[in-house]
Amino acid sequence: MNFGIAFAPLVNVQILWAAFAVACILSILLFVSRSPGAAIRTAGLALIVLALANPSLTREDRDPLSSVAVVVVDKSPSQNFGDRTRQTEEARAAIVGRLSRIPGLDVRVFGKPMSFWERHMPVGMLLRSGWDATHIADPARSLTLEAFQAATGNHFSKPVPLDRFVQYGRWYQRQALPDLDPREIVRVETGPKGFQITLDDGESFSSRRVVVAAGIHPFARRPPEFANLDPALASHTSEHRDLGRFAGQQVLVLGSGQSALESAALLFEACAEVEVAGRAHQIHWLQGWASTTLHSRLGKIVRNLLYAPTDVGPAGISQLMARPDLLRKLPRRLQDKLRKRAVRPAGSRWLVKRLEKVPIRLGRSVTSVASVGERLKVRFDDGSERNVQHVLFGTGYSVNISKYPFLAPELVQSIRQFNGYPVLQAGLETSVPGLHILGAPAAWSFGPLLQFVSGARFASRALLRRINGSAATETSSERTR
């Protein structure tokens, strides 16, 4: 067995070398000036640089473990309102591509590609994410939007239309995962050999490892004031494929983020009488003057310094969000503040003109709701009322893994959680060994990058390192026995 040290830097290599150079210069100055505590301070600088280099001990020359299987569970392949993203589609290919390199590992992938986009996203929708952030990642970085256009002759520009993205996702699946099993997993529970998996056709098998990348559809947030109301009177944006069904109706949209604002625009264009109300006191529009200047007008060097390629979060914060392993070392309170700032509700600037004739009332909260025949009377905290035919919730999603219908309740209860989020360890592994959860549920442990398309590359690499490490450890144990 051979031992070695592997480095997975938490920052770009150039930044790491720059930090090393600065540390050396400061150390020299400390000793030359005979500063008190120079040795301790130098050791502190060395530890900081070492932490940024992120070293780990590796063991090689292991036998393959043919009994290990990985299952990627994908019941709801994606999410995008508020740009909750294509994490599932990306994760399926990026993870499988990397895991398939491990000898003896049987990787089985289940789910219906792009089904969430087709069933729960409105016709006419445009993706909020930029062009580069809309690529579904793959290990070779070859299955890009440009590659799809070149291969199919299907040309389009940004913002990317929903129907084109669905076509791109299916093309991607045919290239990267031709053996995708369209059956759905209906049950994951603990078993004598790790986990017992049951499919929708009744087939059951065991697996020593399960990777859940199941999207956010079960987490749709509905205001408690509207509990138990008829869905014909109040519903979530994710419940509608064609908003044209509301033509001629009075519709109140609740929310101030992308899902609420774009739904309102589509409703208005479908000839509905629409109004938007939200608790926020202002709408945060993306692609403003400052953001555009920093992104495009000051040159590539400034852009790359302030914004990571993952492009999650504002200037400066973007660089930290792109490094989940570094982010999670910060105090919990600071992590929460940074996450809230990085992914606060916001709308694409191309919606401004489309909403010019749509009333938007901010700083208002719903205090009571009453059904009056086939209408709803909604009262706000300022005393005003609205009498409408339908209320549409553009209120986003609230993670709670107990709402994943395929996870056995006993299994969910054994997972360490915080407010519905799984508390994850290295490799996005839960407190139940062998069970990994990716996507939006991983955001509490690893930051908001995991909610977005650009986060799947980090997720797949972290997962691969974890499985590789576990395989080495298990092989070592077997040899010892």
Residues 279 and 293 occupy one common structural domain? no
Residues 169 and 151 occupy one common structural domain? yes
Residue 471 placed within a domain:
no
- Full residue range of the structural domain in which residue 44 is found: 9-55
Residues 334 and 422 occupy one common structural domain? no
Written as tens digits, the pLDDT of the chain (481 aa) is 455 566 667 767 777 777 787 878 877 776 667 677 667 777 777 777 777 777 766 554 444 444 444 444 444 434 444 444 455 555 556 666 655 665 556 778 888 777 777 777 888 898 887 777 788 777 778 888 999 999 999 888 888 888 898 889 889 888 888 888 889 999 999 998 899 999 999 999 999 999 998 888 899 999 999 988 988 999 999 999 899 999 999 999 999 999 999 999 999 999 999 999 999 999 999 877 777 777 676 777 877 788 887 778 888 888 899 999 999 999 999 999 999 888 888 999 999 999 999 999 999 999 999 999 899 999 999 999 999 999 999 999 999 999 999 999 999 999 999 999 999 999 999 999 999 999 999 999 999 999 887 788 889 889 988 888 765 555 444 444 4
Residue 242 contacts residue 123 (beta carbons within 8 Å)? yes
Residues 155 and 207 occupy one common structural domain? yes
Residues 381 and 236 occupy one common structural domain? yes
Residue 162: CATH number of its domain: 3.50.50.60
Residues 84 and 214 occupy one common structural domain? yes
Residues 338 and 453 occupy one common structural domain? no
Residues 109 and 185 occupy one common structural domain? yes
Residues 272 and 355 occupy one common structural domain? yes
Residues 302 and 270 occupy one common structural domain? no
Residue 477 placed within a domain:
no
Cα–Cα distances in Å, from 426 out to 19, 243, 328?
A: 25, 42, 11
Rounded-to-integer distance, Cα 215 and Cα 207, Å: 21
390-393 and 385-388 strand pairing: unpaired
Find residue 70's DSSP bridge partners: 107, 209
Rounded-to-integer distance, Cα 39 and Cα 440, Å: 44
Residue 467 placed within a domain:
no
Residue 468 placed within a domain:
no
User: What is the phi-psi region of residue 106: left when phi exceeds 0, alpha when psi lies from -120 to 50, beta otherwise?
Assistant: beta
Residue 464 placed within a domain:
no
Residue 63 placed within a domain:
no
End of a domain among 325, 342, 359? 342
Please state the domain count of the chain: 4
Burial class (CB in 10 A: 0-12, 13-18, 19+), 152: exposed
Residue 60 placed within a domain:
no
Residue 136 placed within a domain:
yes
Model pTM score: 0.73
Residues 384 and 237 occupy one common structural domain? yes
> What is the Cβ-side half-sphere exposure of residue 194, based on CA atoms within 13 angstroms?
17
Residues 23 and 169 occupy one common structural domain? no
